Amino acid sequence: MREKNKKEIVTPKVVDAGDFSDIQRQSVEGGQPVFGKFECPFCGKAYAREAAFLRHTCRKKEIHEEMNSLAGKTAFILYNKWMQSNHRPQQDVSVFVTSRYYKSFFDFSEYAKRVHLYHVDFFIKVMNNLRLEPSSWSSELAYAAYSDAIKELSPLQEIGFSIECFKSLKRNNHVESDWQVFEKIGIFRIIHLIEVKHLSPWFLLIFEPFSIFYDSLEDEQQEEFGMILDPKEWGIRFAENPEVLDAGHALIEKEL
């Protein structure tokens, strides 16, 4: 691989803010002997010995590697979602990597994955309403504000959010049938998701695959859901809000 790279022509040059996409296409290991030297295509630092060159790292090379990672790519998408939510134009990668928000979004991308942030657009909206800068987004304070805002949703919004959450669970758990998503994540995770309002009873109790899963459980497993999904209590709510159920069914039909 390295032999092959040696034959490629890589023009060593100093990266400036405007040409990151060119740099992205170059191989980091593609340093060429130029006048008997190996030069980093990102910062221009030159080495006489290839071994020393291969050990070289610099911030620009790190950014290149970060932007080729899933976290980096997600960070870039999140950055543009944020720009959009502020009615500002979409930016390209070269602007993002030199932006003062680069690190914040890179951290936030990893944070969002760690805490299973299912509703990123909503999260950004809450942050904007609170005028919280992206540097503060990967924090308990931000998450608490987001959780509180979720608690204020209307039943139909809860159904919409649950659909988003379910789609994400489905993507991450490779199973054949929808009801198996529930089987795969297990009772306690489902209960937790109900408690934090990522999966709402408004959704679960009208979603056929959940009924299939629920019916497959032993009695004592069903009892785990007792307080949260009390059939009597929910039966009353459903009877009082037939329009929510109709709209919910339509939304599920459309989205899932």
Binding site for Zn ion (CB under 5 A): 40, 42-43, 58, 61
Nearer to Zn ion, 61 or 119 (CB): 61
Give min distance, CB of 122 to Zn ion, in A. 39
CB neighbour class for 241 (10 Å; exposed up to 12, middle 13-18, buried from 19):
middle
CB neighbour class for 1 (10 Å; exposed up to 12, middle 13-18, buried from 19):
exposed
Nearer to Zn ion, 102 or 118 (CB): 102
Give min distance, CB of 10 to Zn ion, in A. 13
Give min distance, CB of 39 to Zn ion, in A. 9
Give min distance, CB of 179 to Zn ion, in A. 52
**Angstrom distance (rounded) from CA 246 to CA 84:** 32
Nearer to Zn ion, 58 or 191 (CB): 58
SS3 189: helix
Residue 166 CB coordination number (10 Å): 25
Nearer to Zn ion, 15 or 181 (CB): 15
Please count the helices (runs of H) and the strands (runs of E) in the chain. 17, 3
